Structure 1
Amino acid sequence: MNRPRRAAVFGFAADPRALADLRAAPQWIRELALLHLQDLVHGEQRGVRLGIRAGVDLSGCRRLYVDPDATWRIVYQERRAPPGSARAREVFLLAVGQREAHAAYNAAARRLGRLHGAAPSEHHQPALARPHLITPAAPAHLPPRPAPSSSRTAPGH
């Protein structure tokens, strides 16, 4: 991937549990997923729209296959960024998981409150997980988890 990059088209945010999904994935999957996320943010790739998937409503979400065998998936949303963001829209990472047992789809649906009557997670609030804009200079590993601080909580919490 030595081609010149366009400027980022989207901002980036993630459910904190989606970042945990990435940390738990094998290194080679994590590296491929980060490359795909980088391409998404730069508008160089776009996932397939999802609707009802494995019996759950994932409308408004998109999916990308991470690996050549399509055994790992990224589930994300393209949505309006919060006020004051550098970009008007953002890629919001919901889940990274295996094909087996619809792991990525079920995790995304659970995080959206669409699985078995679950309520949407407090982590789905837009201001919580926006620490890392993926850039061409981003390392092929995840940055260390930042220490909790009161300035990282969502307004009104």
Structure 2
Amino acid sequence: MRILASYLIGLVFGVGISISGMANPAKVLNFFDLFGTWDPSLAFVMGGAVVTAFIGYRYALKRPKPILEGRFQLPTRRDLDRPLILGSATFGVGWGIAGFCPGGAIPALGTGRTEVVLFMAALLAGILTAKTLQRRRASRLAAT
């Protein structure tokens, strides 16, 4: 049942990303081009997502537990540390350069376009590099 629910949630997300145009890097890049071909529609997509999540979380968190899990898995940390800030900045810069974020690139993989495949390869390389650096940092801290 969890696999089916995950598939359906991913399908709805992918269709929504595709319909909104967020799988099109030109549309995303136009959002960042404030003094050129600025396209504000991304702000409406993000605003709609924020409102939907706000309402959805208020409703879902009133339940004692999720439908398909034993408990809610919510973040417990509230501090802003260096890895969070650097990771957010890297995400934003990458999104602005490539016109893709992971959420938009995954559905766009179905197009078979070379730039999407290259973006996903770079994303995976970045994830593996970050994990390696985190392990090295953790082992250095444990050694001291």
TM-score range normalised by the length of the shorter chain: 0.3 to 0.5
Structure with higher Rg: it is: 2
- TM-score, with length taken from structure 1: 0.31
- TM-score, with length taken from structure 2: 0.33
The structure carrying a bigger strand percent of its residues is: 1
